[in-house]
Structure 1
Amino acid sequence: MAGETVLTIVGNLTADPELRATSGGVSVAGFTIAATPRVYDRRSQQWEDGQALFLRCSAWRELAEHCAASLSKGMRVIARGALRQRSYQANDGTQRTVIEMTVDEIGPSLRYAKAAVVRTTNPAPRANGFAPMRTEPAAPAPVAGEPAGAGGRAPVAEDDPWGAPVQSPFDDTDSEF
């Protein structure tokens, strides 16, 4: 991405992502993210909404399919991508310029919500070089202090790096201090 303007935006989706396919069969999802800054007014001692920024976004291929399946209107998302400027002639004959973002990473914001991750597996590629995506539920992580399989949770496989419990860097039970 050398020379591109890369941006990260946090905001809410204004509508469900619209999934389409190009004439070549490539999936593309279009959606708009509304980012509204909050500012503190010292006189009224209250938080107020600033002017909203509405940024039109597009995601391509498997990411487009994942967006359409996972995201919906009103969800708070974090998106990263490259800004693009595009000019076109409107129906009334005037020349217009728009700035859009081509998203390469997107996910739900966990500030005010919880999310369940479902990993995808890639089978053999098709003739066009892209593989259809299949999903499988991710095994939930074990709860500390519970035996494997307790509480409706699946036991963790020894060779599954995603299923291993995470040790906090702030856990000093093994520390000499």
Structure 2
Amino acid sequence: MDELVDILDENGKPTGEFCLKSEAHRKGLFHPTVHVWFYTEQGEILIQQRGKDKATHPLLWDVSVAGHVSSGEKIETAAVREVEEEIGLDITEDDLERIGTFKEIHKISNNFTDAEFHHVFLSELHVPLHDLTKQESEVEALGLIAVRQFAEETLDLVYSAKYVPHGTDYYKSIIQEIKKRL
């Protein structure tokens, strides 16, 4: 879906401008996104396999829920909306624990650059995997993975082709923050 997104400067501050998401990607303009990582008290992380028709990183495993923040939308509101859309889970802003913002640039092609500031949240998953409903157009599959295995796989070059390349520092931060809560 092509939606309006706010344009950010290289430090993540709003410029007061907005455009269609497709234009932001075409021009490599910074814009905000949300990442919500779900974990269980048993020490598992919910991961999603991106849909086969996604423009970026199709079929790679990624954050539990991710999406763009619509122009003028509050970051936490976008996170709650994306969780409901992508995995069918009804949460509130109180269920989200903000852990940081990460700047990331992925040049996909000459006409497509993902220049984003990811607003990252954690949330404990209180329902079984089979109670989640994946958004067919966005999500190929959902899975739970032990934190230890996830750490080994995201920090090991052997598995680098399995996951979206967010970078070692990003994955280390997520793992560290989840471990603090277990």
Q: TM-score, normalised by structure 1?
A: 0.22
**Greater relative contact order: 1 or 2 (C-alpha under 8 angstroms, separation 6 or more)?**
2
Which structure has greater helix proportion?
2
